[in-house]
Amino acid sequence: MVNRGLNKETFFVRNPIFTQSDVFTPAPGGYSVQTPAGYAQPTGYGAPYGAPTGVPYGAPTGAPYGAPTGAPYGAPAGYGAGQQSGYGQNYTGAPAGYAGSAQTAQPGFDQAPYASGSSAYMTIDGVIAKTAAILATVIAVGVVSVNLIPLTMWMPVMVVSGLATIIFPLVAAFRHSMGPVFAILYGAVEGLFLGVISQIFELQYPGIVMQAVLGTFCAAGVTLGAFHFGGFRANGKFSRIIRLSIMGFAAVALVSFILSLFGINLGFYAGLTGTVGGLAWIWAGVGVVLAVFSLVDDFTVIERGVNMRAPAKQGWVAAWGLAVTLVWLYTQILRILSYVNRR
């Protein structure tokens, strides 16, 4: 096959660069090079090719080959002229901006941001301490409330505090942050609710409160063991399913609670006494399972926050979430134990 139109003459004619004769055609007498202002034209530029440049080929031009001829490439002016002040001497002070110097660090930056155990970051010990503080508030307020609040006020206190415990998570979800005041205040309100409801169940079924507390710690301990030793984690999809399920469970619980105030029982929750329907058993079991899965999600969030060196204030959010889950698990176990004692 004959390749037409791709010969040398046609290529140079069609190429817009090569068709400019003044680009690749030297001027008479050699190339005329214009240098920028302030730069000297190199020796030999502008002379005809092959003309002598003043130095015979092979003649020495100065320093031997390989010897230094000045400042290294890119070095500032005056490099090597004299030793910098303090260079090579014993180090006696900290650089500017570090601890021990007269200047201060930039605002918002810690002097040692990666120091181990720094209080500026979320830690496991910090989350445990904050969770213990919230739960201690719940227990203390619960014990005091049943001893100081008259029996005739138990039901109003339980209703108001129960609604408040539902509102608190909604507020926390919109705020995306939490401090010790909010967390401890939640613990106090939750203590009012748990104190009254626990005492009501205890009067009807003696010893049930201690059984529920032990069951809660056993379930939490087994879940923590599966998380730590079994590698059971809540990934992104699993975590979303858990949270959506909890939101649905909370919505049903809220509607059932409001309707119960008007004497309407949907069957999801049995009364303090009487027979227990199948739906109430199933719903209580679903509550325990969701609470356990929520514990796994809480442990995963805490682990991820510590590994990512989240701010220390996020420890209150993690501690509050863990405390809410433990309280919820306690109420579900308390309800199931009350069902068992009726048989």
Residue 19 to residues 9, 11, 14, 16, 265, Cα–Cα distance (Å): 11, 10, 7, 5, 94
Q: Tokens representing 216?
A: 């809660």
pLDDT band, residue 331 (cuts 50/70/90)? very high
Show Cβ contacts of residue 94 under 8 Å, excluding neighbours closer than 6 positions.
100, 101
What confidence category does residue 90 fall into, taking pLDDT thresholds of 50, 70 and 90?
very low
- Structural contact between residues 138 and 327, judged by C-beta atoms closer than 8 angstroms: yes
Check the CA dihedral 213-217-223-224 and report its sign.
positive
Tell me, what's the pLDDT at 254?
83
- Tell whether the model's pLDDT for residue 117 goes beyond 60: no
**CB 309, CB 303: distance < 8 Å:** no
- Confidence band, pLDDT 50/70/90 cuts, at residue 155: confident
pLDDT band with cut points at 50, 70 and 90 for residue 27: very low
Angstrom distance (rounded) from CA 316 to CA 183: 7
Characterize 186-208 residue by residue with b for buried, 16 or more Cβ atoms within 10 angstroms of its Cβ, and e for exposed: bbbbbbbbbbbbbbbbbeebeeb
Q: Do residues 276 and 342 make contact, with C-beta atoms less than 8 angstroms apart? A: yes
End-to-end Cα separation, the chain, in angstroms:
99
Say whether pLDDT at 18 is over 60: no
Q: How confident is the model at residue 63 (pLDDT cuts 50, 70, 90)?
A: low
Q: Residue 13: pLDDT band by 50, 70, 90 thresholds? A: very low
Name the least confident of 8-12, 49-53, 177-181, 281-285: 8-12
Q: What is the model's pLDDT at position 131?
A: 94
Using 50, 70 and 90 to split pLDDT, how confident is the model at 284?
Answer: very high
Q: What is the pLDDT of residue 74?
A: 55
Instruction: Render 151-219 in DSSP notation, one character per residue.
Output: GGGHHHHHHHHHHHHHHHHHHHHHH----HHHHHHHHHHHHHHHHHHHHHHHHHSTTHHHHHHHHHHHH
How many angstroms separate the CA atoms of 67 and 322, rounded?
71
Compute the average pLDDT of residues 94-103.
42
Q: What is the pLDDT of residues 235-269, one digit of tens each?
A: 878 888 888 898 889 889 888 888 888 888 888 88
Mean pLDDT across 280-302: 92
Task: Say if residue 52's pLDDT is above 60.
Answer: no
Tell me if 284 sits within 8 A of 331, measured CB to CB: no
Of 42-46, 260-264, 310-314, which gets the smallest average pLDDT? 42-46
- The confidence score (pLDDT) of residue 62 equals 54
Q: Which tokens in the block code for residue 133?
A: 């503080």
Average pLDDT, the chain: 74
Using alpha carbons only, what angle is made at residue 230 by residues 228 and 232, rounded to the nearest 5 degrees?
80
Segments making up each domain of the chain, as ranges: 124-341
Contact 28, 42 (CB under 8 A): no
What is the Cα–Cα distance from 18 to 12, expressed in whole angstroms? 6
Beta bridge partners of 311: 121
- Rounded to an integer, the average pLDDT of 12-28 is 41
Give whichever of 12-26, 220-234, 288-302 has the largest mean pLDDT: 288-302
Which residue has better confidence, 224 or 254?
224
Q: What are phi and psi of 80, to 5 degrees?
A: 85, -5
| pLDDT surpasses 90 at 282 | yes
Distance of CA 60 to the CA centre of its chain: 67
For residue 240, what are the β-bridge partners? none
Following DSSP, what letter does each residue of 245-282 receive, concatenated? HHHHHHHHHHHHHHHHTTT---SSS--SSS---HHHHH
Q: How sure is the predictor about 15, in pLDDT bands with cuts at 50, 70 and 90?
A: very low
